[in-house]
Homo-oligomer: A and B are copies of this chain.
Amino acid sequence: MKLLKERILKDGRAAGEGILKVDTFLNHQIDPELMEKIGEEFYEKFKDKKITKILTIEASGIAIAVFVAKAFGVPLVFAKKTLSKNMDGEILSTSVMSYTKGLVYIINVAKKFINKDDNILLIDDFLANGSALLGLAEIVQLGGADLAGAGIVIEKSYQPGRKRAEAAGIDVCSLVEIEEIKEGKVVFKEEN
């Protein structure tokens, strides 16, 4: 996605070996116009798949995924990292390792929102180690739904996420693939 590459080059920040900061427009401060365009882009990629629901994980997936859901005209469900008193009924849960936060957390989705008639598209901001994506795919499987694929905004191709996701049979579509981040420079995959 050309617009997104330009934005990464303009506002992203290579903050050391392998680390890209996009907190000015994607995962802390958020540009809603860009979110809408990303939503439309994922619609184009998956529009033939008869998607019934979008599934993401709190928090930074939500702003993106709600525009994807709008483009498809389907509901968004987000997996929660904590159980609140407001969650009741049967819960689908699995564990996810966060490398950036250095911990393992349990993600939870109310069973009533994942049904055997659903064909679900996963959405997330980053694909790095793939733990979040594999966790979401497991939630889909636990709920007996079909998994249509995964839409990722930024894939770090130098990390094992795609390999792990594909080994699990997940069709991964990334809007931008980054080959490496080196000496303060972001190198996109097809430029190599």
> Which residues, 1 to 56 on A, are CB-close (under 8 Å) to B?
15, 19, 21, 23-25, 27-33, 35-36
- B32 touching A69 by the CB < 8 A rule? yes
- B66 touching A35 by the CB < 8 A rule? yes
- Contact partner, A32, options B21, B66, B87, Cβ 8 Å: B66
Residues of chain A at interface, number, CB under 8 A: 43
- B78 touching A102 by the CB < 8 A rule? no
- B75 touching A100 by the CB < 8 A rule? no
Q: Could you list which residues of chain A lie within 8 angstroms of chain B, going by C-beta atoms? A: 15, 19, 21, 23-25, 27-33, 35-36, 58-59, 62-63, 66-67, 69-70, 73, 75-78, 80-82, 84-88, 98, 100-102, 109-110, 113
